[in-house]
Copies of this chain bind each other. A is one copy, B any other.
């Protein structure tokens, strides 16, 4: 298939690479060209604008950092929407607001273009290993058409309905749940530490019994060892996602009181210098609020 890929950051680069490896024709675009070097060396073409990159595409992926970047890349000057052929599919994998996804859906409809939201769960290592979990929503025939590409980047695809923005709701609520694991483990670990209990033993017990899930194992380790650098996912980006989850709730009048707590704790973290550390440092906010010192 003829594929375009816009956005070659931590996540986008390995995703594009896996699509190339799977044998598709790939055109890439990125704000700074040097991120594309190795892909070009491996056979991809580089385009100077989003519009140019998608000119001949059957499917065009976007994987960008936030709403502003997606808005600029898709709807801005020389944007994707100006170049994408009628009938071609825009697959939006970025973690963006439900509201922007709804606008993209409407904009593509107006121009006879197809639109899928296909955000992913997984950190950069998972993207490199093609082990992402892909959550996709949109027209069934588009999902089917794109399935080979989704299979090239992930280990499993979950279809969440025919309205694309639903996949964004699922992604944001999923990130909220991950954040809640960090926050709650952070509170619990602060509690046991202050009672003099060995936190390593404590989380060992949890993650070998009721909480034997990948997300607990990953984050319990980071929290107990206070290994907040290098950041796999920065606290300020985690804050952004919780903000978007709250906005998604606001949009349909759903209170999310734990998300509100997390937002406030994350703001406290950012206000006190943790914004560029891993979002597991949310646990450090809980520890400091309890009067504990970093170890």
Contacts and interface: CB of A to CB of B under 8 A. Distances in A.
B209 A192 contact: no
Interface in A261-275: 261, 263-265, 267-268, 270-273
Contacts of A253: 194, 267, 270-271, 290-291
A215 interface: yes
A222 to B, nearest CB: 15
Contacts of A208: 156
A255 interface: yes
Given A255-B264, A260-B261, A169 B191 contact: yes
A173 B161 contact: no
A184 B249 CA distance: 13
A49 to B, nearest CB: 27
A158 B135 CA distance: 38
A181 to B, nearest CB: 8
Interface string A201-214: 11011101111111
11 contacts: A133-B205, A160-B201, A163-B196, A165-B195, A174-B210, A180-B184, A191-B254, A210-B215, A211-B213, A254-B290, A271-B290
A256 interface: yes
- Chain A binding site: helix, strand, loop or mixed by DSSP? helix
A67 to B, nearest CB: 14
A293 B260 CA distance: 23
A225 interface: no
Interface in A194-234: 194-198, 201-202, 204-206, 208-216
A180 B258 contact: yes
Contact of A264 (B98, B173, B188, B260): B260
A163 to B, nearest CB: 7
Nearest to A160: B197
A265 B174 CA distance: 21
B210 A210 contact: no
A268 B255 contact: yes
A178 B267 contact: no
Given A271-B290, A291-B271, A184 B176 contact: yes
A196 B248 CA distance: 13
